Chain A
Amino acid sequence: MSSKTVNQKAWFLVLPVFLMVAFNALIPLMTVVNYSVQETFGDNVFTWAGVHWFQEVMHSERFHSALLRNILFSAIVLTIEIPLGLAIALTMPRKGPWVSVCLVLMSLPLLIPWNVVGSMWNIMALPDIGLLGKAINSLGINYNYTRQPVAAWFTIVLMDIWHWTSLVVLLCYAGLVSIPDAYYQAAKVDGAKRLAIFRYIQLPKLKHVLTIAVLLRFMDSFMIYTEAQVMTGGGPGNSTTFLSIDLVKTAIGQFDLGPAAAMSLIYFLIILFVSWLFYTLMMKNEEN
């Protein structure tokens, strides 16, 4: 970090990105801010509404429950995917022909369009002709994800694990292969136990990639839309209506611009704040 030279001309190199992102992010964001403080009755007539929409959203039961669902979902998904991904990465072969096979097969779910992931699990979980649905029902458990909220949650969480655990595996794997063999040899000479090797050699090296994994998984699970929308459409009832689903319903379905805009800003700020915390943590690690 300290070896960088000060050069203000570097701004010219950053300019294309700056202009592009400014066009793509600032104009739309300003539109959202604009809507969030105004009231409209159609015909492009807008009147000042102040913080009315923000107050409404902050006090609305609907927003609270969607937010709670999002927090619960992210929490469940992170507590399962991070340890599972780490465990799989630790047991993966480091050398040999199987490495490429493992990596290619494991990355496959990450490159499937999200609506296809939804459809795929839809077909998989159908109670009468889906492999998963049929299997669970034949165990004597009554399972129908279009009627039972618990079944819907179970299916969506399982789908997310299927979809994204590989990201954690690949990140951890990248961290593990970067540890020089000499470290392990030294540990062997000292007669270190498996647990000690993990605690004192592997974990410190993995701290950085694990932070990235948590950051990315938090962001993406908190933004979940397509997979859940295709899979359950937010149902049964409202039991899987996450913030994004609710937001698209309000903005495009009902065209309630004010509340949708206020909700957007609150939603964005939550993600931004949590991600900023992780980012600061990560940069601290990187400097050490």
Chain B
Amino acid sequence: MITRSKSRSRFVPLFYIIFLMLPIYWLLNMSFKTTNEILGGFSLYPHQFTLDSYRKILTDPTWYMGYVNSLTYVLINTVLSVSVALPAAYAFSRYRFLGDKHLFFWLLSNRMAPPAVFVLPFFQLYSAVGLFDTPWAVAFSHTLFNVPLAVWILEGFMGGVPKALDETAFVDGYSFPHFFFRIFIPTIAAGIGVACFFCFMFSWVELLLAKNLTSVAAKPIAAVMTKTASASGYELGLLAAAGSLTLIPGAIVIYFVRNYIAKGFALGRV
């Protein structure tokens, strides 16, 4: 009895994964169809297989520059967020100081701020400092929620490193910078990887701020897509192909952190 119910329960993750893959399959399916076939009616797989949509995206600069722009601000944001979060996370995990708990919650509260609240003020702020329509504006605005997250994750991972490591190093006469960069950072490399992964993820998936802080020069792929969807009727094939291509960066970064992904999602705290 027990073994039978156990073997049956094994199918639960399988069904779940099938459920997850269906919309992705449907997107890929649409991206390989010709417009005529899409409008012609329902079909489970492309009968007239074509790569036209992909060819258009990869040869038209308004399309492929969208990917370049998106990846640019995502990378700037990731580097920026993690490098300022590292020393702060160390301070929170090792020391008590005036107002530490309040500061920590205040940081976290920014992760709770709805981007919709910040759209207009950010637009005005970054226009005022001359960063509007540059990848920097988007990268900075995304630090609003990524820096708190990076601090939170890194603090969790650092909490797992025994304090004895720091104390031994200082007794051995290492200076703080030497200890921090040469010993401590390599020790929590996995945590840094996970923090980078999350910064990448939340910056990559965000649209509202990215769209409203750019107009032409730094327009992200997501904004190019929404404009196409509304402007030129309904080019579903093209939209599906553009969507399918946005899956690739995500799939690559997941592959890199696959062994730490579960612990990372628990913010380093299990």
Contact = CB atoms under 8 A, between A and B. Distances in A.
A52 to B, nearest CB: 19
B98 A111 contact: no
B181 interface: no
Nearest to B92: A14
Contacts of A112: 205, 243, 246-247, 250
Given A20-B143, A108-B254, A119 B225 contact: yes
A16 B42 contact: no
Interface in A115-140: 115-116, 119-121, 123-124, 128-131, 134
Interface stretch (A55-63, A143-151, A264-272): A264-272
Contacts of B249: 111
A4 interface: yes
A180 to B, nearest CB: 12
B212 A123 contact: no
A244 B114 contact: yes
A166 B44 CA distance: 26
A275 B266 contact: no
Contacts of B22: 124, 131
Contacts of A32: 117, 120-121
B165 interface: no
A260 B26 CA distance: 38
Given A6-B97, A20-B147, A111-B251, A170 B205 contact: no
B240 A28 contact: no
A111 B205 contact: yes
Nearest to B40: A129
A28 B121 contact: yes
Interface string A150-171: 0000000000001001110111
Contacts of A264: 114, 116-117
Contact of B204 (A11, A18, A103, A113): A113
Interface string A23-34: 011011101100
A288 interface: no
B110 interface: yes
B250 to A, nearest CB: 3
B99 to A, nearest CB: 9
A243 B114 CA distance: 10
A162 B95 contact: no
A61 to B, nearest CB: 20
Interface residues of B, number: 96
A114 B206 contact: yes
A173 B255 contact: no
B262 interface: yes
Interface in B58-108: 84-85, 87-88, 90-92, 94-98, 100, 103, 105-108
Interface in B218-270: 221-222, 225-226, 229, 236, 239-240, 243, 246-247, 249-251, 253-255, 258-259, 261-263, 265-267, 269-270
A251 B85 contact: no
A190 B222 CA distance: 56
A130 B236 CA distance: 11
Contacts of A27: 121, 125
Interface residues of A, number: 95
Nearest to A3: B163
A87 interface: yes
B169 interface: no
Given A100-B258, A162-B20, A272-B109, A212 B267 contact: yes
A78 interface: no
A25 B96 contact: no
Given A31-B125, A102-B13, A116-B243, 4 more contacts: A10-B95, A105-B21, A115-B226, A251-B120
In the complex, the 4 A-B pairs of residues with the closest C-beta atoms, listed nearest first: A111-B250, A28-B121, A13-B91, A10-B95
Interface of B: 2, 9-10, 12-13, 16-17, 19-24, 26-27, 30, 38, 41-42, 44, 84-85, 87-88, 90-92, 94-98, 100, 103, 105-122, 124-125, 140-141, 143-144, 147-148, 151, 163, 201, 204-208, 212, 221-222, 225-226, 229, 236, 239-240, 243, 246-247, 249-251, 253-255, 258-259, 261-263, 265-267, 269-270
15 contacts: A5-B94, A17-B107, A28-B118, A29-B121, A91-B12, A108-B250, A113-B246, A119-B240, A119-B243, A120-B24, A174-B270, A244-B114, A252-B212, A257-B120, A267-B117
